[in-house]
Structure 1
Amino acid sequence: MTLKLCSSSTGTTTTGVPADRRRRVPPMAALACAVLTVVAVGTAVPAVAAPAARPAAAADRSGGRLPDLDPQALQRALSSAPDRVTGVLARVSGPDGHWTGTYGTADVATGTPVPVDGRFRLGSVTKTFIATVVLQLAAEDRVDLDQPVQRYLPDVLPDSYPPIPVRTLLNFTSSLPELTPDDLPTTPVAIVEHRFDDHPLAELVAKAVRHERPFTEPGSMQVYGATGYFVAAMVVENLTGHTYQQEITTRILWPLHLRDTAAPETDTTIPGPHSHGYIAVPQQNGGTRLVDITEQNPGAGGMISTTADLDRFLTALFRGRLLPLTEQAELFDVPDVPYLGGTDHDPGHGRAYYGAGLMRATLPNGVTVWGKTGSTFGYTDGMFTTRDLRRRVVYSFNPTNGGGNDLALVNRILSATFAS
């Protein structure tokens, strides 16, 4: 699998945004950013590529001994994309090894090093938090995963739609359509100009459902997208009477003492140490200029965390601290259906590879990992672990192409962590 890489010219400069634009605004734009990242990059495929279909008899080595950690290989992986990222941060944890590393700069204007404890925007990694909240509501008998979403959100989806079970929202088999480049700004100039705009969930869903559904029968195919999670977040809000950010905070962040993690509703800034996010804006002379887009409208894609906090969240999730056994099993229940447009070179080899908010990928050495990738403008991140938690990795980097999951860089990080 290849990815068309975007790079900026040498000698770039930075520019800020006038203070009057740095205003507090209602949430949701970053959730739209997560979608637009997919649109702008031109693919909805997550950043984990399988090299070739492994033999059916190949063992899942996630419970066995992993290769010894190679700090040099990890550092080489972090520094392998200097032409398209400004900073990289990674943390490896677990009984089979610990390592932290950085590359690049947190601020291209000052040359400040990337902070090891830096905070970053999560983008679609927030989907795992939303899925967890929905599954908690299912455990409380407040939502039935087998019932259609229309039961909980009447008048949100078109009357012509078939019943769409709530479970299909979480495992990407809902058949709901996605936003297109015509729905929201996607060019670098437009992204900079509109990154503070508000796009409520209801508006995003209304725009998405104007398009044709990708397949007819809910549950019959899988394809990655964001609309299902827009709707899932709306279900949370309708059932609880609180914003989904509030539910994430009270149900997950506070109980796990994730003090460096936030689900902001209006704050456009990133508090505490962090690397800046940038986007390369084309110039009339044919070059590009890096524009600082660290400040942007929050929302689901605007959740903020650190590598340490995400590692704690992932560990708690896999150990059952957040969900009873029945609901926890939904995380790992990958539907036995085709992946729309899938090939032998993707993580599912043409078949589904997502459970509820988590994806499954098997590396060349047979080690199977579970986790999630995310991206919003200026930030890309991910968290992956073996099922037994023996080795875990959380990473974040700052792409200059507006976002998107850099397949080459992510695969190098995962290979250096689990397969070196």
Structure 2
Amino acid sequence: MVATGTLVALIATSCSSTGADRAEPAAATGRAKITEALNDLISIDHLPGAQIVITDHGQAWTATAGVGNVEQGAPFPDNARVRIASNTKTFVATVMLQLVAEDKVELDAPVERYLPDVVHGPGIDGNRITIRNLLQHTSGIPEYAAEFGVPPKPGQLETHDEQVRWGITDMTEVVRNALTAPADFAPGAQWAYSNTNYALAGIIIEKVTASSLGAEITHRIIEPLGLSDTYYPNPDETAIRGPHPLGYSEIDGKLIDYTDQNVTSAGAAGAMVSTGADLNRFFTALLDGTLLPPAQLAAMKTTVPLGVPDSDAAYGLGLLYHRLPCGKDSWGHGGDIDGFETRGGATTDGRSVTVITNQVPGTPEPTQHINQLVDTALCPTT
């Protein structure tokens, strides 16, 4: 699905920097090349709007293209808050690994220890599935999004069901229904993305801590890092707090404002709101050891291949690995939810990038272009 010819895209790109511009953090990457690629997402891929945030050792540079509001022609706000979808999984995995470091959870313990008599179904046995399997998507547990009629691609939590859009989802019931489907494979036999893994991880965190997942993410990650534009929505929230672009979905050939929605159906798998700058700060802090002790960070970065032809992509514990064209290692996640797509990565030398679009592309090519843009921005040229 692509935007129709009635959408008039603004091809002019606006740029801004923080840190008084004195550090010129993105200058070495060739800003003209980056802004040209950002504009191509509008003029060639026909997305409404896009924003890139590049952070280098704490200094951030932002560029935008297209519109954040189709009707008014307004651009993305500089510090745009958006739904970050499956990037939420990295936050959840980080909290779980902090609990492992605190000896409150054992990474290779069976899920049955924490959720007795819950994880069972055709070929599904909570005594054989570990916490590691959940975080790494090697459990074989089937995808719960199928409950909403939309089997997603990795990172995607899209559904156009109006009841799901506005209603509060009982995730315990959703998981219970998902577990009536047969296992996709035996635990540890292969990798397959399933949002149900993280729904279960969220339930386990809440049981172990006797607190809500949102509260744990807030006091363990958001507050210590000063992520002032990041939050886990309350169950009854439908709007995005603070400055944000509108997010669009193409439904029956029409571009629809899908910004407001209840994201309890995404939950631990993809409910959070953040900005490009905050995401960059989070992934940088994660990789430099601010959030996890060395043993848990090493476990998080221990990967299994995705099995994608001609790809080196591999998945750790809520963390996606990719080898950049310039030879550096990139770590991140990414995510899609109705209205927004986010892609990005961070390197261990203090550089991080997030690209946001306010529509999930309907074909693979725009996302490929977004990923290429991330790679370009993460590989500065001399």
Q: What is the TM-score when the length of structure 2 is the normalising length? A: 0.84
Instruction: Evaluate the alpha carbon distance shift between residue 259 and residue 345 of structure 1 in structure 2; reply closer, same or farther with a 3 A threshold.
Output: same
**Taking CA–CA contacts closer than 8 Å with sequence separation of 6 or more, which of the two structures ends up with the larger relative contact order?**
1
CA distance in 1, matches of 2:6, 2:374: 31
CA distance in 2, matches of 1:93, 1:7: 30
Among 133, 141, 146, the alignment partner of 1:176 is 141
The aligned residue for residue 291 of structure 1 is 256
Among 348, 358, 361, the alignment partner of 1:387 is 348
Structure 1 window deviating more from structure 2 (408-417 vs 304-313): it is 408-417
What amino acid does structure 1 have at the position aligned with 2:68? A
The aligned residue for residue 241 of structure 2 is 271
CA shift at 1:365, angstroms? Answer: 3.2
**How does 1:325-344 map onto structure 2 within 5 Å?**
325-335=294-304, 339=306, 342-344=307-309
**How does 1:44-193 map onto structure 2 within 5 Å?**
68-82=28-42, 83-95=45-57, 99-158=61-120, 161=125, 162-179=127-144, 181=146, 183-186=147-150, 190-192=160-162
Asked if 2 retains the 8 angstrom alpha-carbon contact of 1:147 and 1:165, the reply is yes
SS in 2 for 1:113: coil
Instruction: Evaluate the alpha carbon distance shift between residue 86 and residue 192 of structure 1 in structure 2; reply closer, same or farther with a 3 A threshold.
Output: farther
Pairing 1:206–2:167 present? no
Among 292, 305, 325, the alignment partner of 1:364 is 325
CA shift at 1:131, angstroms? Answer: 0.3
CA distance in 2, matches of 1:280, 1:163: 41
Asked if 1 retains the 8 angstrom alpha-carbon contact of 2:246 and 2:259, the reply is yes
CA distance in 2, matches of 1:412, 1:143: 38
SS in 2 for 1:254: helix
The aligned residue for residue 189 of structure 2 is 220
CA shift at 1:179, angstroms? Answer: 3.0
CA shift at 1:10, angstroms? Answer: 1.9
Q: How many residues align?
A: 347
What amino acid does structure 2 have at the position aligned with 1:260? D
Among 289, 312, 320, the alignment partner of 1:347 is 312
Asked if 2 retains the 8 angstrom alpha-carbon contact of 1:106 and 1:115, the reply is yes
Instruction: Evaluate the alpha carbon distance shift between residue 234 and residue 305 of structure 1 in structure 2; reply closer, same or farther with a 3 A threshold.
Output: same
CA distance in 2, matches of 1:97, 1:248: 25
CA shift at 1:354, angstroms? Answer: 0.9
The aligned residue for residue 396 of structure 1 is 356
Asked if 2 retains the 8 angstrom alpha-carbon contact of 1:290 and 1:400, the reply is no
CA distance in 2, matches of 1:72, 1:114: 19
CA distance in 2, matches of 1:347, 1:319: 23
Pairing 1:9–2:7 present? no
CA shift at 1:189, angstroms? Answer: 8.9
Structure 1 window deviating more from structure 2 (359-368 vs 190-199): it is 190-199
CA distance in 2, matches of 1:310, 1:356: 17
Asked if 1 retains the 8 angstrom alpha-carbon contact of 2:361 and 2:367, the reply is no
SS in 1 for 2:316: coil
CA distance in 1, matches of 2:231, 2:159: 28
Q: What is the TM-score when the length of structure 1 is the normalising length? A: 0.76
CA distance in 2, matches of 1:99, 1:255: 23
CA shift at 1:409, angstroms? Answer: 2.6
| Runs (5+) with no aligned partner, structure 1 | 1-5, 14-65, 283-287
Asked if 1 retains the 8 angstrom alpha-carbon contact of 2:136 and 2:317, the reply is yes
What amino acid does structure 2 have at the position aligned with 1:311? N
The aligned residue for residue 303 of structure 1 is 272
CA distance in 1, matches of 2:148, 2:343: 25
